[in-house]
Homo-oligomer: A and B are copies of this chain.
Amino acid sequence: MNKLTVQALQWTGNTLKVLDQRQLPDTCRYDEYSDAAGVAEAIATMRVRGAPAIGIAAAYGVVLSAYRYYPAGEDGWRQCVAADIEVLAKSRPTAVNLFSALDQMKAVLDQPNADPAALSACAEKIHADDIAANYKMGELGADLLAGAKGLLTHCNTGALATGGYGTALGVIRSAYKRQPLPIYADETRPWLQGARLTVWELAQDGIPATLIADSAAAWLMKSGRIDWVIVGADRIAVNGDSANKIGTYSLAVLARQHGVKFMVVAPTTTIDWAIDNGDEIAIEQRHQNELLPACYLSEGSLVSAWNPVFDVTPAALISAIVTERGVILNPSEQGMRQIQ
């Protein structure tokens, strides 16, 4: 197993240390949380982001809640922890991993013999399973990339976005290890996850990376430099429609027009088996101050911003969805059901 060069989350046993990713790459600082409300705040403010990572963080948040309330009367502690689970569930709306992790924690909480140790074991298992899934996906995805001449990725899907190693970036790591090839990263406005996190992570691993403006991706494709776009996902519907960072849909349309293949890499915890297609996915709109220069934020300003931070890529534009349970080529509900 590869050494993890960077960790978004460090569980100390009774606190959760969260790398404040908003300050990368300039400052590498961990904030330490000892209650669920703090973890929810860390997720909402995007100190930690990335669908798998926020699921794991939320799970540890539940453990912190249990530590806090367990000494309370017979059933009171369960109600308090359940209330904290509600708070954690409201921290971000789009990534389903958050809800699936909280569902797992809630199931443990509801068991008759539930205690903090059982919840802690569950959270640590969610974390470990995610890392294991990433390594598995890395190999499966790299298998598809034999002979590729260049790759483009969007946002950050690496160790910083997951339990470790990464989804799309895990595939890129595994592929590069087999055969070095040019890696391009979109800078990914408005948060610049590509510029601040992805190229930084790759450099930590000794992998050279080339940053481009998001709007240069089409011109890069036209130049013939890449033959695959590889992205993560925040929620995948049963038919394969995939929500991911704003700009992913754009890349998928452009890839199809340029004969470039399009890979989505996500653990099965990202699949929402309860929704038929992408129309049912809630798309988070974040505050316009993430885009607008400060001078436009005054009352009565004629300038506003439209800031959806995810979009949905239809399955028809996806060449392959890579999960730890297998690869679905040309995804459809039938293919998706085979890994359920």
Contact = CB atoms under 8 A, between A and B. Distances in A.
A253 B257 contact: yes
Interface stretch (A180-188, A234-242, A265-273): A180-188
A195 interface: yes
Interface stretch (A73-81, A94-102, A125-133, A200-208): A200-208
A47 to B, nearest CB: 19
Interface stretch (A82-90, A111-119, A213-221): A213-221
Interface residues of A, number: 53
A297 to B, nearest CB: 12
Contacts of A257: 253, 257
A108 interface: no
Contact of A254 (B212, B250, B306): B250
A95 to B, nearest CB: 17
Contacts of A224: none
Q: What 5 pairs between A and B have smallest CB-CB spacing?
A: A215-B247, A218-B250, A214-B215, A203-B302, A219-B311
Interface of A: 25-26, 184, 186-190, 195-196, 199-200, 202-203, 206-220, 222, 246-247, 249-251, 253-254, 257, 288, 291-293, 295-296, 301-308, 311
